Structure 1
Amino acid sequence: MDSKSEGLFMSEPSADVSATVEYTMDKWRMDRVPWAMWACVAGVAIALHAESRGQNGAALAAVYLALLGLAFAGYALTTLIGRSGLPLLLDLLIGALVMVIVSGVIGAISLMAGGSNGRSSYVGTIHGLYWSHLVNPSPNVFGWMSLYLGLGWIAFSSYRHFYADRAIVSLSSAGIQFHRPWLRGLFIPWHEVRRVGYLEVPGISGVPFVSPYSAAVTVGQEFYERHVAPKRSFFAPPGAEAMFRPKGEMMQVVLNSADMTVKPEDFLGPAEIRWKAFRDRPGSSSRHGGTIVYGRWSIDGSRWQAVQFLAPLVGMVVVMLSR
């Protein structure tokens, strides 16, 4: 950071090195609540006004979501297996077994929930399954699915807002702690950090390109191999590799990510000032000065925020009155 940026940062509460700085994805989740509210509006509109064909749309939508969740779980598992580095033959066998199990469960659920046409023969049963409600659902089923998904996101985001989970990244006088589900227990002490700054990636011409969108700390390759690489979980999502970028004989660890609506500068300032304060004092700790949280959603009183949350409520009232 330049001297002007450092001067501005010194007025920030996180400049107090005795305080712990935490970064959450609460704002990222809550910023998507208005979209979930619109999904509920659309769901209610479709469920009320679309054709039902005498079907129980609410129950059928729940079955559809369960089947979609099961199919996605099978896809995710086979993708993870493909990235595990197993021998090709074993990879194919395990993937085929997973697909057979998932397909069997989906088929069983479809057979139980699909209904029948009243025939007792095997052919009649298959024919009834083919033309069941699951294969040919009424339009209002998709309205119920949209309503369930919207309500689910609103409930989950609200719960996590009022009962916050652990911060994804935290900076203390001891070092940097990561709490991602697929990167549990990763801790980088300040004396192992070699640099704090923007991520550097190789350029086409060979000159490193400094990315203004990613804040990173650089650690030694030996520390990475012994303490970071073993923490990387088998269940890391696609794209997780971008968190670790080599830089010569060292490794860069990216701090910010798309699921935290926090600017890179809000990582670099607190990280750099703590690194400079504690890098020469391994194992030391200062008096705890409280906790400062970045990425926390709050009511800011702006008109845009009010419109975001009030517009879907007005839309819901209009839908209900036009029934």
Structure 2
Amino acid sequence: MREPSADVSATVEYTMDKWRMDRVPWAMWACVAGLAIALHAESRGQNGAALATVYLALLGLAFAGYALTTLIGRSGLPLLLELLIGALVLIIVSGVIGVISVMVGGWSGRSSYVGTMHSLYWSHLVNPSLNVFGWMLLYLGLGWIAFSSYRHFHRDRAVVSLSSAGIRLHRFWLRGLFIPWYEVRGVGHLEVPGISGVPFVSPYSAAVTVGRDFFEQHVAPKRSFLAPPGSEAMFQPKGDMMQVVLNSADMTVKPEDFLVPAEARWKTFRDWAGSSSQPGGTIVHGRWAIDGSRWQAVQFLAPLVGMAVVMLYR
């Protein structure tokens, strides 16, 4: 066995920080558009700021119901039980939406229709003024900016980490997965079966290969039923072994930035049962930083100029 060098003893971490921060300028433009609409569009006497929160709450509730029913459909439950649970979720979500709608409808009092019939006034729900959508854009944009900024300055746990001991993967649906280097059988680009029978090597995906037994015992049980659609593409068979894909689009890191350090550590530590006794610090990929380029300056300054123009000509 050879003594590991100081370079490969360093831990390499991969985060989503750059992916989130790269979308902050778009969120800023959403704020510009939302502010312009909220200030200049007609309100018809409606409280656009308050009604926008109701719309966002209803949209969030509807999405949560859809996500829950999708997860139930993938849970493998008996069909009858699946239908009963799905119906219960639909009833609860519809009931909550109905209660919120009645409460909102009550804010405007009552309105007369034919004869002595009275009904709650619903126009501000079914026909809201345009400034409501402006406030919605403003809330969504500010929410993304606040969330991304918080995560940038108080960074969360790395999605993938390469250390002298092995590979750690951490997602909300795949927590605490650890693959020691001595269980890795290969490092390279993802191979998928081709139409002609010849494997197709994807240049966009970096993967490590592990034994089927290790995968069934230590990887598969870590997968949660909360896994989003398409997450199964992270695990691909390769003969009698399994490939685990390391990179993904939400890390904005090139496959080579995974393969080079992973292969170096695998070749160095695959014969070691433990980790290096002298860790060599931490290297972070996917971390956003000010690079001083004109394009980055334009991305962040242009929305601010747009915001100033909107405020100036309100």
1:6 is aligned to none
SS of equivalent residue, structure 2 residue 202: strand
The TM-score normalised by the length of structure 1 is 0.92
Which range moves more in the overlay, 42-51 or 132-141?
Answer: 132-141
Residue 181 (str. 1) matches residue 175 (str. 2): no
The CA distance in 1 between the partners of 2:275 and 2:52, in whole Å, is: 56
Task: Give the whole-Å Cα distance in 2 for the aligned partners of 1:306 and 1:214.
Answer: 31
In structure 2, what residue type is equivalent to 1:207?
A: V
Pairing partner for 1:31 from 6, 22, 25: 22
The aligned residue for residue 85 of structure 1 is 76
Aligned residue pairs, count: 307
1:1-323 → structure 2 map (5 Å cutoff): 16-115=7-106, 116-118=108-110, 124-125=118-119, 128-129=120-121, 131-323=122-314
Gaps of 5+ in 2: none
In 1, Cα distance between equivalents of 2:105 and 2:56: 14
Structure 1: distance between partners of 2:29 and 2:170 = 32
State the distance in 1 between where 2:92 and 2:145 align: 32
Deviation per CA, 1:15-37: give whole Å up to 9, x if none.
81111000000000000000000
The CA distance in 2 between the partners of 1:244 and 1:224, in whole Å, is 9
Deviation at 1:285, TM superposition (A): 2.5
Please give the per-residue CA displacement for 1:6-63, whole angstroms capped at 9, x wherever unaligned. Answer: xxxxxxxx98111100000000000000000000000000001111000000000001
> Residues 274 and 82 from structure 1, CA distance in 2 versus in 1: closer, same or farther, beyond 3 angstroms?
same
Residue 145 of structure 1: CA displacement?
A: 0.1
SS at match of 2:140: helix
Please list the CA deviations of residues 153-178 of structure 1 after superposition, one character each: whole Å capped at 9, or x if unmatched.
00000000000000000000000001
Q: Distance in 2 between matches of 1:284 and 1:164?
A: 25
Give the letter aligned to residue 118 of structure 1.
R
1:17–1:173 CA contact under 8 A, matched in 2: yes
What CA distance in whole angstroms lies between the structure 2 residues aligned with 1:180 and 1:76? 18
CA distance in 1, matches of 2:117, 2:8: 74
Q: Which runs of 5+ in 1 are unaligned?
A: 1-13
Q: CA–CA distance in 1 between the matches of 2:13 and 2:225?
A: 26
**Structure 1 residues 119 and 227, CA gap change in structure 2 (3 angstroms):** same
User: What do you get for the CA RMSD once the two structures are aligned?
Assistant: 1.6
Query: What is the identity, as a one-letter code, of the residue corresponding to 2:255?
Result: P
Contact 1:117 1:124 in 2 (8 A): no
Identity %: 84
CA contact 2:6–2:280 (8 Å) conserved in 1: no
SS at match of 1:237: coil
Matches of 1:119 and 1:138 in 2, distance apart? 19
In 2, Cα distance between equivalents of 1:43 and 1:254:
39
1:198 match: secondary structure: strand
AA matched with 1:182: W
SS where residue 166 of structure 1 aligns? coil
The equivalent residue for 1:7 is none
